[in-house]
Amino acid sequence: MTTTTHAIAVPSPGAPLVPTTIERRDLRPDDVLIDIRYAGICHSDIHQAQEDWGEAIFPMVPGHEIAGVVAAAGPEVTKYRLGDRVGVGCMVDSCGECEYCRAGTEQFCVKGNVQTYNGVGFDGENTYGGYSRQIVVKEGFVCRIPAGIDLDVAAPLLCAGITTYSPLRKWGAGPGKKVAVIGLGGLGHMAVKLAVAMGAEVTVLSQSLKKQEDGLRLGAKDYFATSDESTFEALRGRFDLILNTVSAKLPVDSYLGLLRVGGAMVNVGAPGEPLAYNAFSLLGGNKVLAGSMIGGIAETQEMLDFCAEHGIGAEIETISAGQVNEAYERVSNSDVRYRFVIDTATIEA
């Protein structure tokens, strides 16, 4: 016995999304059933729907920025009760035993974390994500959305929030630090808000000055257009940390030139194409080029609590199920301010 729920699916690589129904498993003892209220659209959804990262599983129900309310709980669930406001991000399971799981970095589970969608559970079943009305998730992969953050603006925190929070923390964003954020999209705008709340001095590096007013309103001190060659001269050697949130290939050497001696550039953007750099761009200045993938469950909860404490949510545009294909187009064209969130009540067969 399973539960049938309405969803929106990508039937085949790159095809438009269509309404459908899917089955959710019966509750296991440590599962919760979540009535999804909002699901954010991450650029990773588009990468996977288009197979930018390689072969994917179809039909695909994307969505790993999930906010909702607990509708039922298995008998061994201890953390959540009916009516609790909860979120689910990019993972729904991991082995729980390897050194990385034990260290709270389930995303690096040696058996592979189970992705919220476009994944296969340890039971062999395909996973389906948040563009749906309900989902069943093991309680250990569910986070609590603190009072004070509305569910719609909370949804994007489950991926865009944690993916930027984790490297900002790890690489020391804080008072006295100059942080640049490349790309003012879903991840980028969260990075600006979070780095500002951590006390860093933040600069946005965007393709144009179109969104400058927004960037400054979000707390950035400076805003530069990367289409203007003089930007790279003006900012040479300025930053302690650069967070690259861009979904496409970038001229990495130009950006490494903006780091101070010992500075770090961290990539969270995940284009399908390889990024290239010249070894001397790192050697001259003992610079670091690093990567970061989402964050563990405990750190995701820490990020949500941090956001509640600092009054941070995503800047969103709420859409209905029928507008999802148009939203995909707009995200692909960098035309998003700053996250599309699907009102899942509008998902119908």
Please, which of residues 156-185 interact with ligand NAP by CB under 6 A?
Answer: 159-160, 163, 183-185
User: 243 forms bridges with which residues in the sheet?
Assistant: 181, 266
Both structure tokens of 177: 């630090």
d(Cα 195, Cα 128) in Å, to the nearest integer? 32
Task: Give the binding range for Zn ion (CB under 5 A) out of 39-47, 92-100, 168-176, 312-320.
Answer: 39-47
Shortest Å, Cβ 153 to ligand NAP: 15
Instruction: Note whether 303 binds ligand NAP by CB under 6 A.
Output: no
Of these, 82, 110, 248, 276, which contacts ligand NAP (CB under 6 A)?
248
d(Cα 308, Cα 87) in Å, to the nearest integer? 14
Which residue from 111, 108, 117, 26 is spatially nearest to 65, judged by alpha carbons?
117
Nearer to ligand NAP, 82 or 290 (CB): 290
Q: CA angle, 269 as apex, 195 and 124 as ends, to 5°?
A: 115
Of these, 24, 43, 178, 287, which contacts ligand NAP (CB under 6 A)?
43
Contact partner, 314, from ligand NAP, Zn ion, none, Cβ < 5-8 Å per class: none
Please give the size of the binding site for Zn ion, defined by CB under 5 A: 3
Instruction: Note whether 113 binds ligand NAP by CB under 6 A.
Output: no
* Helix, coil or strand: residue 324: helix
Instruction: Note whether 44 binds ligand NAP by CB under 6 A.
Output: yes
d(Cα 172, Cα 315) in Å, to the nearest integer? 25
d(Cα 207, Cα 181) in Å, to the nearest integer? 12
Contact string 327-346 vs ligand NAP (x = CB under 6 A) = ----x--x-x----------
Contact partner, 268, from ligand NAP, Zn ion, none, Cβ < 5-8 Å per class: ligand NAP
Which residue from 329, 335, 290 is spatially nearest to 16, judged by alpha carbons?
329
d(Cα 251, Cα 183) in Å, to the nearest integer? 13
d(Cα 49, Cα 188) in Å, to the nearest integer? 21
Instruction: Note whether 62 binds ligand NAP by CB under 6 A.
Output: no
Shortest Å, Cβ 70 to ligand NAP: 25
Shortest Å, Cβ 247 to ligand NAP: 3
Instruction: Note whether 268 binds ligand NAP by CB under 6 A.
Output: yes
Q: What are phi and psi of 251, to 5 degrees?
A: -75, 90
Shortest Å, Cβ 292 to Zn ion: 13
d(Cα 337, Cα 322) in Å, to the nearest integer? 19
Nearer to Zn ion, 287 or 339 (CB): 339
* Helix, coil or strand: residue 137: strand
Instruction: Note whether 300 binds ligand NAP by CB under 6 A.
Output: no
d(Cα 194, Cα 338) in Å, to the nearest integer? 14
Please give the size of the binding site for ligand NAP, defined by CB under 6 A: 30
d(Cα 8, Cα 205) in Å, to the nearest integer? 34
Shortest Å, Cβ 327 to Zn ion: 14
Shortest Å, Cβ 42 to Zn ion: 3
Of these, 153, 159, 162, 197, which contacts Zn ion (CB under 5 A)?
159
d(Cα 25, Cα 165) in Å, to the nearest integer? 32
Instruction: Note whether 270 binds ligand NAP by CB under 6 A.
Output: yes
Residues that bind ligand NAP (CB under 6 A): 42-44, 47, 159-160, 163, 183-188, 206-207, 211, 245-248, 268-271, 292-294, 331, 334, 336
